[in-house]
Structure 1
Amino acid sequence: MNHKIKNTPIWKLGLRFSIVFFIISAIIKIIMSVLMKDFSDYVKTEQFRNYMIGLGVFSMIYGFLMASLQKRKNK
């Protein structure tokens, strides 16, 4: 595994971490929204859109931070 991480470019590794974090967080948010609110109306609101945009930005930052830490750890 160390060999794979060493040879993978940081942008690919960061993108992978970001996508996984975003998908898991979005699924959790959608499940919570289905249980708590009228989902079809909530998805159309600006609050939900802003939450998803914020989650996307945060997941990109988190993904690339984790990628750089993994690269540093496996040097």
Structure 2
Amino acid sequence: MQFRHPAVVIDETITNLEYLTGLLLQDIDRGAIEKRQVTPSALKAIAALEAIRTLLPRLRIVRSNYADSDALPQ
């Protein structure tokens, strides 16, 4: 397996999660409420958004540590 700098992997992951957030928000907007109830797919999207909301700030903190570290090349 080829070495990939952790900062690059984190950057790509953050970008992908931000993209996924947009898709999940669209899923919630499209028919999220049917007959005054939240659909099961909307509930899943909401749960996924909560997980992403928790993960993204932590990834950004870890990424900022690489920006300040001399341990790995920039």
TM-score (norm 1): 0.41
Give the number of the structure whose residues are more often strand, by fraction.
2
Which has more helix, going by share of residues?
Answer: 1
Greater RCO (CA < 8 Å, at least 6 residues apart): 1
Structure having the higher Rg: 2
* TM-score scaled by length of structure 2: 0.42
